[in-house]
């Protein structure tokens, strides 16, 4: 497991090798030149960035909500039991 750090940001990159590996895994291998053309297609980089940010925000939101519910579970259970009495 990686050492813990005090992070201020998390970066993600879509690289040529990643595009080539994913294409290969999907049964449609591409050359380096094809992967490069794909990554440089007009508007594609911005669309990928928006998708990655959306996925990151969703992950963070779900993780925070899960943490909040887990840490406050006993409070919710206690309140629910009090209402039944």
Ordered by start, the domain boundaries in the chain are 16-84
Across 5-33, average pLDDT: 94
Residue in the structure block whose two tokens are 């039944």: 84
Across 10-25, average pLDDT: 95
pLDDT of residue 21 exceeding 80:
yes
Average pLDDT, the chain: 84
Per residue in 40-70, pLDDT (tens digit) is: 999 999 999 999 999 999 999 999 888 766 5
> How distant is the alpha carbon of residue 57 from its chain centre?
8
Q: What is the pTM of this model?
A: 0.62
- What whole-number distance in Å separates Cα of residue 63 and Cα of residue 68? 8
Q: Judge contact between 52 and 12, C-beta under 8 A.
A: yes
pLDDT at 69: 63
């Amino acid at each position: 497991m990686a050492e813990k750090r005090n992070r201020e940001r998390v970066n993600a990159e879509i690289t040529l090798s990643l595009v080539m590996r994913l294409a290969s895994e999907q049964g449609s291998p591409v050359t380096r030149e094809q992967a490069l053309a794909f990554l440089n297609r007009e508007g594609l980089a911005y669309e990928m960035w928006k998708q990655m940010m959306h996925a990151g925000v969703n992950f963070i939101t779900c993780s925070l909500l899960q943490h909040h519910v887990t840490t406050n579970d006993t409070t919710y259970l206690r309140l629910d039991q009090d209402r039944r009495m």
